[in-house]
Amino acid sequence: MSEKDAQFWDKAARKYAAAAIDDEAGFERTLARSRALIPSRSRVLELGCGTGTVALRLADCAESYLATDISAGMLAIAQEKLDAARQSGFNAALAFRQATVDTLAPEGVHYDVVVGFNYLHLAGSLPDVLSDIRSMLVPGGLFISKTPCLAEMNPLIRLAIPVMRFFGKAPDVVTACSPASLIQDIAAAGFDILENERHGTKKTDFRPFIVARAL
């Protein structure tokens, strides 16, 4: 992701944090399934954690949970939420850090689980990003994702993105993948697809929930 994207998400952080979850029931289903998949003594990395909503809900499943994002503004809000939660007794081993997949991968740290919700379509070249994610997982480790597939949406949405970007209303990097191409890219990066589900409760659901195991 680019510096432009960091600035975009910094500016959007407070509005993003205040927005309601679009499909609460679908979100809860995703969290429940993710919790069931995360081993109790695992090291978890979350990419594109935003303001920490998912991290704060899942961190107590794991032995350690590192939640990362490109945006310092998003992470400042996430840290505020964590500080407030700790005052109420939250004691999971959760930490937030400003980082991207391409800066994390060269560090050589390995994780049992990598989580990326609403992330892959904003992360840049899918083959490169997925290769980096695979390199950070232990053999047999899990990559859990839920990704908006813009190629499945109304074409007018995709056509509007360049205009929105010109006016500062969309990030610099947006990838319009399809569910089929996303599965193909994940498999090509060295993963075995274990689950491919739809958790949304609305008539249209453009975000497949995918669980992949590192080969």
Write the DSSP string, 58-124. Answer: HGGGSSEEEEEES-HHHHHHHHHHHHHHHHTT----EEEEE--HHHHGGG---EEEEEEES-GGGSS
Q: For the sheet with 191-198, list strands across it.
A: 94-98, 64-69, 43-46, 111-117, 137-146, 208-214, 191-198
Rounded CA-CA distance 41/39 in Å is 6
d(CA 210, CA 31): 13
- Residue 202's pLDDT is 82
| Euclidean distance between CA atoms 155 and 180, whole angstroms | 17
Distance of alpha carbon 59 from alpha carbon 44, whole angstroms: 8
Q: Determine phi and psi for 35, rounding to 5 degrees.
A: -60, -40
C-alpha 212 chain-centroid distance:
14
pLDDT of residue 1: 56
Q: What is the mean pLDDT of each run of 10 residues along the chain (215 residues)?
A: 86 93 94 96 97 98 97 98 96 97 97 98 96 98 96 77 77 92 98 96 88 98
| Whether domain 3-214 has CATH 3.40.50.300 | no
**Distance from C-alpha of 38 to C-alpha of 57, rounded to nearest angstrom:** 12
